[in-house]
Structure 1
Amino acid sequence: MDEPTGFSASHDHTNCKAELALRVIQGRWKLLVLRELMEGVQRFSALQRALPGVSQKVLTAQLRELEANGVVQRTAYPEVPPRVEYGLTALGRELIPVLEGLHAWGQQVAEAAAPETG
């Protein structure tokens, strides 16, 4: 079977672009944050409500990492009380088909692992 272009089992992992991409989105909450931001710009409190179980500290850290990697944009408005919104950057929006593909693949895995009834 042919290897996909640019990726093989003998590939030099120190320069693997797939590994770099995975490092950008790895983390317990990052994919879920990205899923929420695919729906549009969100305030911090809306993200926290959409992700029960995530602490403020962890969500802040995950958002900062995504921002540092150019995937998420943070916009702070000079208002009282302060308003901060998060949205996907152009680079982040390029992840949408990748995330949709992961979802579809996960669905196939779940269906394959489900016990047959009947």
Structure 2
Amino acid sequence: MNDKLSNLKIYLGLTEDNTDFDEVLQLIIKNTELQLRFKLGLTSDIIFIPSEIEYIPLQVEVKRFNRLKNEGMISFTQEGESITFNTNDFDEFQSDIDEWKKQNGNSVLVAMDPYRKRGDQHDI
């Protein structure tokens, strides 16, 4: 099991041997990281989240998992219990995202393979 999935399962209180949610958790992890990379302005060549803000995806993934079956809802009320959802899971982290972008600019250094032909989709 990969570290991201393992950490998310620990945070959610799921045991390692409980694989009932693994597929949906993997999808949540993937989509959360794609969205954060987009918000940071990182290119698709960059396959990692900067270490300074690695905590953001896990927090958002937990929110998304806990909201399963309630996607798109702004609020939910049942038998006197009321839950209100953020419209954007990244809202509480926006100042951190903005600060990271300010400190790092909107560009990130990417290592390029000088031997790879432009548009070549095959690994050598």
* Shorter-chain TM-score tier: under 0.3
Q: Which has the higher contact order (CA 8 A, sep 6+)?
A: 2
Greater fraction of residues in helix: 1
TM-score in terms of structure 1 length: 0.26
Greater fraction of residues in strand: 1
